[in-house]
A and B are shown apart, each in its own frame.
Chain A
Amino acid sequence: MTKLTRRHVLAAGSTGAVVALAGTAACSDPGADGATEDLDPSADVDISVGDQPTEDKPEELAAFNERIDEFETANANITVDASTEVWEAQTFQAKLAGGTLPTVMGVSLTYSYELIANGQVPDMTEYLDELGLTEDLNPLALDNVKDDDGNIYSIPTGLFSVGIAYNRAIFEQAGLDPNTPPATWDEVRSFAQTIKANVPGVTPYAQMTTNNTGGWMLTTMTYSNGGRVQNDAGTESVMGDETIAALQLLHDMRWVDDTMGREFLYDQDGVRQAFAGGTIGMVLQAPDIYIPLIRDYGFDPADVGVGALPQGGAGNNGTLTGGTLKLFDAKATPNQLLAAAKWIKFYDFDKYYDEAVALADAESNAADGNPVGLPGLPPVSQEVYDQYLAWIEPHINVPLEQFASYTSSTLELIAEPPAGTQQTYAALDPVVQQILTDEGADIAQVVADANEAVQGIIDQAAR
């Protein structure tokens, strides 16, 4: 046997390295792009769906998985791979660009126009028509997911409009009627003064200002005063007296009345935590604040109140809508898109038409301590929705009377600014922050500068 020399070792080593490299190169797969394939509803197809409940919610998870089994039984050619992927603002753009999102999942409705304009969502009209889903959907909601030509790109669900959340216990301590939330901005201001005078140690009125929520709420307040942030076509920034009035109110509540506490860097999570801690009297929120308050923070349901958005000027100006859209993967094949749309119809809409499904869904949610019957805007027509509510009535665990002012509201529902929505909100964050941290801020000038910044965003979006 020959002795192993240094040269042998070197030769063996370098040959091995070259072979290994060649191996890894051969393994790389350029990935299949099947967007050119023809639609065949009966062909075998695999899809992935997001929003699967995590294992800490066993009842919900079991119900979700059971629905998948039922769906696969009813559609033998479709295989569903569930994923716990949920929408998160911080990671969404990266995951969308990286192509790692499931075939379909829920995403904030805010992105709708942007995704359509950027070609990041597939045209779903054909598939929704094929399933007869377009007739069922709430036409008001559908407007949020259409382009100028009427093509539909996603399915809106879980809709809401912004209102005002208030702590009923604080209202009682302050001597205010917990069943009468403020209906105008003047009342918000005077209620806040009353709370300050009677309940020490709480922030009478809090405002969100960071992570785009400042701009989001300034837009809402502008709507409530009858103004707009962008024109309807999304080609021009049009903030004016209504935005100035909103900022003037915040300025006066902060610097004249001192009814806004000391924390001016709240975002959605932060303000909800503080509200749950019982230190906030009023804050602009949609009814979905109820979910984390009760489920995550153990807040007493009896203390939650949600009213319609307070109005300025002559009143009855409107409120901002939001919600969830079902985002379909732009790179999915036609068969996958049809299968994914079938899944959404099955999972999100069957409950409105099938009493047994509605009851099973409500039961599993109630068993996991989730709110059932939370007020919101129906993704389907009002008659269908009312019938659904009647079915699940025995399982409704939300104190609906505490939302009475919100649910009885007839305010006009106004969509979000269409061009560069999130960027517009981001650009308006510092505006609100400035008013709350700089007593001498020139509000008219601040709004003029904000118009310039938003116009820049509109121009860049149209580039």
Chain B
Amino acid sequence: MTKTLDAAPAARRRKRGNLTRWAQGGGLHAVLFAVPVVLVYAYFSWGPVIQGLILSFQKTNLIQPAEWVGWGNFTYVLADPGLVQASLNTGYFALLALVFGFPVPIILAVLINELRKYDTLYNALAYLPAIVPPVAAILLWKFFYDPDATGMFNTVLGWFGLGPFPWLNAENSAMPSIVLYATWAGAGSTAIIYIAALATVRTELYEAAEIDGAGIWRRIWHITLPQLRNVIFVMMLLQIIGTFQIFTEPFLFTGGGPNNATQTILLKIYNYAFINGDFGAATALSVLLAAFLGLLSVVYYFVTKRWSTA
């Protein structure tokens, strides 16, 4: 009994001793050193996030005092007849980009990696589109997509008796046209990451496979892709998140048209905020998108975790 009674103060003493030792050992200074960084990060990075969350429950034009409207902004954006179309368009873009755009940089990386000569030159060429600023590139592609028979793509296709195609000027071809551009613009920078990852694949594996008589396709299928698996999973997640946030391309190419065929979630958010001046609705839809992407990331993590350990 006495023993247990004495145990508590002894533990406290030990604890205090630990704290003193921690402070004397530089722990306190370390915390103080971290404080500015944490505060700056909190202010500039988390501050806007929290501010956005608060705005989504308010009606405000930032001039008049804000009014709390509860879930009003959320019900408004969810009841917006254009939301379904924008979500479907965003999903459609994500799907097209995944099916057609995702393999391109992998293929590009493998091809460049297989080259024995001038690989730096091809590296540079593949990366070139990433250097062109998106606004300039999109203006350039607008010329390529000129719907007249004299447009650049239509002229080239005309040599083979194809077209002229309306490209951005028809509901069914506008989104694929944007995906084509996005793939061209994004493939280079993604390919660079794959090339870097490929450099870490041990060459003995290929040599062993070659000795065993494996051709190039079997080497790619059985060595390259499994070795790149983790990078591919991360890149896929980044691409999915990226595609759900597509804005620049439809904004500059079509403004969401024709007839809302390229209206995306982010373009809607932009229009709420900067055309309508309805910051509450804009942040409400942003919060919904963020929640959806967060959820998607969690699901993706668990699904691919099983695959990558399999």
Chain A interface (Cβ within 8 Å of chain B)?
6-7, 10-11, 13-15, 17-18, 20-21, 89-91, 93-94, 96-99, 114, 118-120, 209-212, 261-265, 267, 330-331, 420, 422-423, 426, 429-431, 433-434, 436-438, 452-453, 456, 460, 463
Interface residues on B, range: 35 or more
The 4 closest A-B pairs by CB, nearest first: A14-B32, A10-B29, A97-B62, A434-B259
Give chain B interface residues in 105-131, CB to chain A under 8 Å: none
Q: How far is the CA of A449 from the CA of B81 in the complex (A)?
A: 10
| A433 → B minimal CB distance (Å) | 4
Q: Mark B33-70, 1 if CB is under 8 A from A, else 0.
A: 10110010000000000000000000101111000000
Q: Is B304 interfacial (CB 8 A cutoff)? A: no
Given contacts A10-B33, A17-B32, is CB(A453)–CB(B81) below 8 Å? yes
**Residue pair A429, B76 in contact (C-beta under 8 Å):** no
Please name the residue on chain B nearest to A420 by beta carbon. B276
Q: Is B254 interfacial (CB 8 A cutoff)? A: yes
| A248 → B minimal CB distance (Å) | 17
Interchain Cβ contacts under 8 Å between A and B, 29 examples = A7-B29, A14-B32, A14-B35, A15-B32, A17-B35, A18-B35, A21-B36, A90-B274, A97-B62, A98-B62, A114-B277, A119-B61, A120-B61, A210-B257, A212-B275, A262-B166, A263-B147, A265-B169, A420-B276, A423-B275, A429-B256, A430-B256, A434-B171, A436-B258, A437-B171, A437-B258, A438-B259, A453-B81, A460-B278
Please name the residue on chain A nearest to B257 by beta carbon. A433
| A206 → B minimal CB distance (Å) | 13
* B168 surroundings in chain A (CB, below 8 A): 265
* B32 surroundings in chain A (CB, below 8 A): 13-15, 17-18
* B62 surroundings in chain A (CB, below 8 A): 97-99
Q: How far is the CA of A97 from the CA of B271 in the complex (A)?
A: 15
Q: Is B273 interfacial (CB 8 A cutoff)? A: yes
Q: How far is the CA of A17 from the CA of B32 in the complex (A)?
A: 8
Given contacts A120-B64, A209-B257, is CB(A426)–CB(B271) below 8 Å? yes
Number of A-B residue pairs at CB separation under 8 A: 131
Q: How far is the CA of A459 from the CA of B273 in the complex (A)?
A: 18
Identify whether the interface residues of A are mostly helix, strand, loop, or mixed: helix
* A93 surroundings in chain B (CB, below 8 A): 273-277
Q: Is B26 interfacial (CB 8 A cutoff)? A: yes
Q: Is B170 interfacial (CB 8 A cutoff)? A: yes
Q: Is B207 interfacial (CB 8 A cutoff)? A: no
Please name the residue on chain A nearest to B85 by beta carbon. A430
* A119 surroundings in chain B (CB, below 8 A): 61, 63-64
Q: A118-B63, A264-B257, A463-B72 are in contact. List 16 more A-B contacts (CB 8 A).
A: A13-B29, A93-B275, A97-B279, A98-B62, A114-B277, A119-B61, A210-B254, A211-B255, A212-B275, A262-B164, A263-B148, A263-B169, A331-B63, A426-B276, A434-B258, A436-B258
Q: How far is the CA of A429 from the CA of B275 in the complex (A)?
A: 13
Q: Is B260 interfacial (CB 8 A cutoff)? A: yes
Q: Mark B246-263, 1 if CB is under 8 A from A, else 0.
A: 000000001111111001
**Residue pair A460, B76 in contact (C-beta under 8 Å):** yes
| A424 → B minimal CB distance (Å) | 10
Q: How far is the CA of A405 from the CA of B164 in the complex (A)?
A: 39
Given contacts A97-B61, A265-B169, A422-B276, is CB(A21)–CB(B35) below 8 Å? yes
Please name the residue on chain A nearest to B80 by beta carbon. A456
Please name the residue on chain B nearest to A7 by beta carbon. B26
* A261 surroundings in chain B (CB, below 8 A): 148
